[in-house]
C-alpha cells in the first residue's frame, strides 16, 4: 500500500496540515494574549467598552495566511479572552463577529489582485464595519436598548483603525518572508 493511498493523505499533505495547525494555534494564542494584556477599559462607555490590540495578530494572520487563519484567530482568540476575562456573555457574539472580521479580511487579502496596501486598507475598513454593526446588534440583544450601543462605536473604530495602522507596514513584509520560507 503506497503512501499516497493513505486515508490521511500524503506525507506532504500531512506536513502542510500540521504547519497550518501550528500557525492557527499560534495566532489564536497571540490574539488571546495581546487582547488580554494590551488593553484600555473605556471609562466613558456605560457598558464597559474596551480598546485592545488583539486585532493586530488577527489581521496579520488573515493577511499572511488567509481567511481561515483570520477567522480562527479572531473567533477563538478573542472568544477565549471573553471567557477568561469575565465577559462570558459576549463570547458567542465575539466568536461570530470577530471570526467574520478575520474571514472577510483574509478573503479580501487572498482574492484581490491589487497592491497589498490597497487591499489591506479595504479589508481593515470592511472589518471595522463588521465589528461596528455586529457589536451594535449584540449590545441591542444583551441590553434591550437601541441607544446605549452607540456609545461603543467610537471605541470599536479606534480599536480597529489603530490595529490597521500597526499592521499596514508589516503585513506585506511578513507575507514575503513567509512566502520565501515556503511556510505557506
Question: What pLDDT digit, counting tens, does each position of 33-58 carry?
Answer: 999 999 888 776 555 568 899 999 99
Global pTM reads 0.90
> Do 166 and 56 contact (CB within 8 A), yes or no?
yes
All domains of the chain in start order, with CATH = 3-181 (1.10.1760.20)
Q: What is the pLDDT of residues 81-133, one digit of tens each?
A: 999 999 999 999 999 999 999 999 999 999 999 999 999 999 999 999 999 99
Maximal CA-CA distance, the chain: 66
In the numeric block, which cell numbers belong to residue 164? 490597521
Do the beta carbons of residue 57 and residue 32 sit within 8 Å?
Answer: no
Give the Cβ contact number of residue 51 at 10 Å: 18
Amino acid at each position: 500500500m503506497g503512501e499516497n493511498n493513505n486515508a490521511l493523505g500524503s506525507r506532504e499533505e500531512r506536513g502542510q496540515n500540521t504547519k497550518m495547525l501550528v500557525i492557527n494555534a499560534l495566532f489564536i494564542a497571540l490574539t488571546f494574549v495581546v487582547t488580554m494584556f494590551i488593553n484600555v477599559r473605556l471609562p466613558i462607555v456605560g457598558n464597559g467598552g474596551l480598546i485592545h490590540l488583539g486585532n493586530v495578530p488577527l489581521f496579520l494572520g488573515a493577511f499572511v495566511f488567509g481567511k481561515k487563519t483570520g477567522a480562527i484567530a479572531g473567533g477563538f482568540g478573542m472568544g477565549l479572552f471573553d471567557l477568561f476575562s469575565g465577559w462570558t456573555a459576549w463570547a458567542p457574539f465575539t466568536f461570530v463577529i470577530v471570526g467574520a472580521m478575520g474571514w472577510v479580511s483574509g478573503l479580501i487579502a487572498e482574492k484581490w489582485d491589487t497592491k497589498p496596501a490597497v487591499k489591506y486598507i479595504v479589508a481593515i475598513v470592511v472589518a471595522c464595519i463588521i465589528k461596528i454593526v455586529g457589536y451594535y446588534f449584540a449590545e441591542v440583544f444583551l441590553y434591550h436598548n437601541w441607544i446605549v450601543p452607540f456609545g461603543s462605536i467610537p471605541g470599536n473604530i479606534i480599536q480597529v483603525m489603530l490595529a490597521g495602522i500597526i499592521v499596514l507596514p508589516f503585513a506585506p513584509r511578513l507575507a514575503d518572508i513567509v512566502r520565501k520560507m515556503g511556510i505557506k
